[in-house]
Structure 1
Amino acid sequence: MQKSDTFSMKISIITATYNSAKTLRDTLNSVLRQDYCDIEHIIVDGGSTDSTVGMIREYAAAATRHTVRWVTEKDRGIYDAMNKGIAMATGDVVGILNSDDYFTAGDVVSKLAEPFSDTALEAVYGDIHFIHDGEPDKITRYYSSRIFSPFWVRFGFMPAHPSLYVRRGVYDRVGPYKLDYKIGADFEMIVRMFCVHKIKAQYLKMDFVTMRNGGASTNGVRSHRLLLQEDTRACRENGIYSNQFLISLKYFYKIFEFRF
């Protein structure tokens, strides 16, 4: 392991928002609770018409322990907002925290930062869990990234995207999220990072993020069908053999993630 002599690392956290007032406060408060001081929180708002922008202003004024940068303007959707946030980031490492998600504990950022003292490491990832809105203490699904390896990409497996933290320079090599994917651009990004550019990553056995059920990629049969199509396309475009049948096999595994 190659360790830097003086370990100091800025972590950029990107949050895309659009009319997110109902859930955003939990997201922002979870960043405020982090015990890691060198945080840059970048909020990219798509021109909200509810109280989201006012909430962001209040948060930026209250965040005395870390830097907050934000912008509000029309965009082309969540992946466009993520790309804008990555372009704005000045941190050594970049991660995504969605506006309806929040850090599971106050030491998540400090723990994920530690492995980056290995200067050869390019990314870390871990676990997340899901809840129903209004029932924060009841886990409905636990998504572990433990089994992930690039081999499993052809079967639609990926590390939990909200747990993925990547050195900023990786995005310079890999490129931005593709905007012609509706809900599968995060998977396509994983394929590029892990299978095409073969980044060096480490799994951390910890729960990074609490997610509410009902995201775009998990909401309804139509969304699952579209995700199958886009995941298959992502493999094909990046030279990985797969098909919709192979991708669909992941759903048998996901059954074991649910808590009844």
Structure 2
Amino acid sequence: MKFTLITVCYKAGDELAQTVDSVRAQTHPDIEHIIVDGASPDAATQEVLRRIDDGRALVISEPDRGVYDAMNKGLARATGEVVGFVNAGDLLEGPEVIAALAAEFAHGDADVLYGDANMVDPQDIRMVRRFWKGGAYHRDNFRKGWMPPHLGTYIRRAAYGAHGGFDLRFRIAADYELMFRFLYKHGLRARYVPLTIVRFRLGGASNKSLGHVWKANREVLEAWRANGLKPPPLLAFRKPLRKLAQYILPSAP
């Protein structure tokens, strides 16, 4: 089973190199790695891009309209049966991760698999700040502010062909909108795998400040409306409370 891993980056330098090393350490024999760089101007990133453009990765470096546009560019070039994202600076949690996911997908009972994720300090990836602990999939959990962790979720490429990629109208929460559209609206088959899949640095757009958290929550509500559905009344409060619980209770989903 062929996997496509997509890495998006901008001025990532050594962090990009760490991610590439993590992907190349995987034991699974059939991995396509697509790196989408937003035309980084710095010498450090350019040097890393030259070094890794050795035939083992497809490197695209050109201006884009943001991270989700870059992800869509990667999706457009993907040829694997299953697609996952590992952003620059993030690491797969061990060399057997993709092999384990391939074995799970081989059961044929899921379009989407998700696992656990370690969210680490941006300056020290050994320091876990939040832990996303998954559990059995229940569609109605979306009504309580839940979503699977984007970087801990792997999806059959056919789903993107059937239901589209990231909606660029959503500047902060396009990952939520895509997961909601795939799982809640279209009812793709999803299953939890008790495996820590990724170690990723905190600091995404939806977590930068209280203002960004507020904007992200507004986009979450708009994601429901954009898909022709009415958001639950308390959704805007439940989602940030779930994030807070991940700091306080290690097992919180």
Q: Is the contact between residue 12 and residue 95 of structure 1 (CA under 8 Å) also seen in structure 2?
A: yes
Q: Within 1, Cα distance between the matches of 2:235 and 2:121?
A: 30
Q: How far apart, in 1, do the equivalents of 2:170 and 2:146 lie?
A: 17
- 1:189 is aligned, of 178, 181, 184, to 178
1:237 Cα deviation after fit: 1.7
Query: Secondary structure of the residue that 1:206 maps to in structure 2?
Result: strand
Residue deviations 1:200-248 (CA, integer Å, cap 9, x gap) = 1211111111111211111110110001100000012223332573232
Alignment of 1:234-245 (within 5 A): 234-242=223-231, 245=234
Match for residue 41 of structure 1? 33
* Pairing of 1:12-161 with structure 2 (within 5 A): 12-50=4-42, 51-61=44-54, 67-146=56-135, 148-161=137-150
Amino acid at match of 1:151: D
| Shift in CA distance, 129/259, structure 1 to aligned 2, threshold 3 Å | farther
Q: How high is the TM-score relative to the length of structure 2?
A: 0.92
Match of 1:256 in 2: 245
> Does the aligned pair in 2 maintain the 1:10–1:93 contact within 8 Å?
yes
Q: Which residue of 1 aligns with 2:189?
A: 200
Specify the SS of the correspondent of 1:172: helix
| Residue of structure 2 in register with 1:3 after alignment | none
Give the SS at the match of 1:137. strand
3-state SS in 2 of match to 1:173:
helix
Deviation, 1:122, is 1.1
In structure 2, relative to structure 1, the CA distance for the partners of 1:120 and 1:206 (3 Å cut) is closer
Are 1:228 and 1:244, in contact at CA under 8 Å, matched by a contact in 2? no
- Residue matched to 1:6: none
**In structure 2, distance between residues paired with 1:198 and 1:17:** 31
Aligned residues: 248
- Correspondence for 1:5: none
Q: In structure 1, the residue corresponding to 2:53 is in which secondary structure?
A: helix
Do the aligned partners of 1:12 and 1:42 also contact (CA within 8 Å) in 2? yes
| Runs of 4+ residues over 3 Å off in structure 1 | none
Indicate how the Cα distance of structure 1 residues 223 and 147 shifts in structure 2: closer, same or farther if over 3 A, else same.
Answer: farther
Deviation sequence 1:66-90 (CA, Å, 0-9, x none): x411111111111111111011001
Q: Please tell me whether the aligned partners of residues 148 and 157 of structure 1 are also in contact (alpha carbons under 8 angstroms).
A: no
Q: Which deviations, in whole Å up to 9, do the C-alpha atoms of 1:35-78 show, x marking residues without a partner?
A: 112000001111001122321221232x7xxx411111111111
Structure 1 gaps, min length 5: 1-8
Gaps of 5+ in 2: none
In angstroms, what is the RMSD of aligned CA positions? 1.8
Amino acid at match of 2:242: Y
Q: Alpha-carbon deviation of 1:129?
A: 1.0
**SS of aligned partner of 1:138:** strand
Q: 2:3 aligns with which of 5, 8, 11?
A: 11
Deviations 1:146-170 (A, max 9, x none): 2553212133210010011111111
